[in-house]
Amino acid sequence: MATHHTKMLIIGSGPAGYSAAIYGARAMLEPIVVQGLQPGGQLTITTDVENYPGFKDVIQGPWLMEQMQAQAEHVGTRMMWDTIVEVDLANGSPFRAVGDSGDEYIGETLVIATGAQAKWLGVDGEQELGGKGVSACATCDGFFYRGKKVVVIGGGNTAVEEALYLTNHSDDVTLIHRRDELRSEKILQERLFASDKITPLWNKTVSAFVAGENGALGHLDLVDTVSGEQSTIEADGAFVAIGHAPATELFKGKLPMDDGGYLQVEAGTPKTEIPGVFACGDVMDHTYRQAVTAAGTGCMAALDAERFLATQQHAQKEAAE
């Protein structure tokens, strides 16, 4: 067991964590990234990425994250294959974190980039057809279903927003919901019911995603929640939109969170209420949830961490004079 010291400790290795690391390393903060159970983050479980700036051709999510990791290492970031299981923020900077390995990490600043995970239904075929018709992100993957038949599963704000977004690409969108009314805000419901491209399918749950002859999604098996009757619906794309779970368990009672468990930051900044602790990426953003926005807020966190350290140094110098 060892103790690692750094000016900038980053928890999480998705686009937010790696971007913070690239900026932190170039500011000579010698960052440490603790990578967690999913090195590279959510993009490592997808295939085609077509909306990350800088690439004319479609790139692969895992490849993009390998490049970000390599870039962060190249400029001087230390990667740790460990998962943080405990953090101590009560006494201010420096902050202490403990890894699953038993190693201790001491950071003069702390950047939280632990992301969020889409919630899945957990039914047959869902995992196997991930990236082959089954997705949890219409903004990311909707474009691949231009002119095709798509379904959205869910009844809250996310599901209605995803269905409305998909009408930009498809004239045949079905919203499958297990109840006979939506939970989403009234204004979104009004927009949904006004669209002639969206058909709601009430009182149905999905029991399986089934591949067609080409190996990609062909249809979904459904069960009626009232009658128990079984049916199927054909679809080229299915978007599971039943919410996201931010990875904030570690920070419960230590940092303010909203009702959904997302970390709260000062508006327009990655600053948490504890000076020197910053949050970036999906862990503090339930609105945009994109790789490019995660990278952007990661950059902001590193710049603010640098400013925090400079201000501290200045204050210490003045006190010593």
Ligand X SMILES: Cc1cc2nc3c(=O)[nH]c(=O)nc-3n(C[C@H](O)[C@H](O)[C@H](O)COP(=O)(O)OP(=O)(O)OC[C@H]3O[C@@H](n4cnc5c(N)ncnc54)[C@H](O)[C@@H]3O)c2cc1C
**Residues lying near ligand X in the complex (CB under 6 A):** 11-17, 34-39, 41-43, 45-46, 49, 51-52, 83-84, 113-116, 118, 135-137, 140, 247, 250, 281-283, 289-292, 294
Whether 141 is a known active-site residue: answer yes
Q: How far is the CB of 5 from ligand X (least distance, A)?
A: 18
Q: Choose the catalytic residue: 48, 100, 103, 137.
A: 137
Q: Choose the catalytic residue: 140, 236, 280, 285.
A: 140
The answer to whether residues 77 and 32 touch, using CB atoms and an 8 Å cutoff, is yes
Report the C-alpha gap between 35 and 40 in whole angstroms: 8
Cα Rg of the chain, angstroms: 22
Q: For residues 45 and 208, which CB has a smaller minimum distance to ligand X in the complex?
A: 45
Whether 137 is a known active-site residue: answer yes
Q: End-to-end alpha-carbon separation of the chain, Å?
A: 39
The answer to whether residues 175 and 202 touch, using CB atoms and an 8 Å cutoff, is no
The answer to whether residues 42 and 136 touch, using CB atoms and an 8 Å cutoff, is no
Q: For residues 229 and 249, which CB has a smaller minimum distance to ligand X in the complex?
A: 249
Q: 225-235 burial, b for 16+ CB within 10 Å, e for fewer?
A: eeeeeeeebeb
Q: How far is the CB of 300 from ligand X (least distance, A)?
A: 13
Q: CA 5, 23, 91: angle at the middle one, nearest 5? A: 40
Q: How far is the CB of 291 from ligand X (least distance, A)?
A: 3
Q: Choose the catalytic residue: 141, 236, 282, 304.
A: 141
Q: How far is the CB of 315 from ligand X (least distance, A)?
A: 31
CA dihedral 253, 257, 19, 42 (to 10 degrees): 100
Whether 180 is a known active-site residue: answer no
Q: How far is the CB of 136 from ligand X (least distance, A)?
A: 5
Q: For residues 192 and 283, which CB has a smaller minimum distance to ligand X in the complex?
A: 283
Q: How far is the CB of 142 from ligand X (least distance, A)?
A: 10
Q: For residues 13 and 174, which CB has a smaller minimum distance to ligand X in the complex?
A: 13
Supply 264's token pair. Answer: 């709260």
Classified as helix, coil or strand, 222 is strand
Closest by alpha carbon to 177, among 215, 121, 104, 254?
Answer: 121
Closest by alpha carbon to 42, among 96, 139, 117, 125?
Answer: 117
Tokens 């039914």 belong to 123
Q: Which residues are catalytic?
A: 137, 140-141
